[in-house]
Amino acid sequence: MSLTIAALIGSITIFILAIYLGFELISKVPATLHTPLMSGANAISGITVVGALLASNVAFNSGSPGIAAWLGFIAIVLATINCVGGFMVTNRMLEMIAGKRRKKEVA
């Protein structure tokens, strides 16, 4: 399986457009929507973990895994860190909101 120049250029173009679109979308989100947005991003990170697991499985079952297996492993580690960190931040934000509500009820 060889990578053609056209496929490489197409992949790089999609990657650059995804970076630009992601930056533009995130920068336009108001502060009040960051917690729900982070929950959605955590779900997407979970999907990324599953995709990285599938890609790693294909790489390991191909006979000579090489760099594809290492890239799959790195993708699994980074997506897992992103997912766990996102859930930790979301949980902390929700605890802060719940703490404010409890203080209002007591007073």
* Each residue's pLDDT tens digit, 2-44: 668 887 788 788 888 888 887 887 777 776 666 666 667 777 7
- Residue 29 contacts by C-beta under 8 Å, 6 or more apart in sequence? 37
| Segment among 24-28, 46-50, 75-79, 85-89 with least mean pLDDT | 24-28
- d(C-alpha 42, C-alpha 39), whole Å: 5
- Is the CB of residue 35 less than 8 Å from the CB of residue 90? yes
| 55 burial via Cβ count (<10 Å: 0-12, 13-18, 19+) | middle
The per-residue pLDDT for range 58-78, each reduced to its tens digit, is 777 877 778 877 888 888 898
Task: Parse the chain into domains and list their residue ranges.
Answer: 32-106
Cut 0.75: pTM above it: no
- What the block records as the tokens of 28 is 């336009």
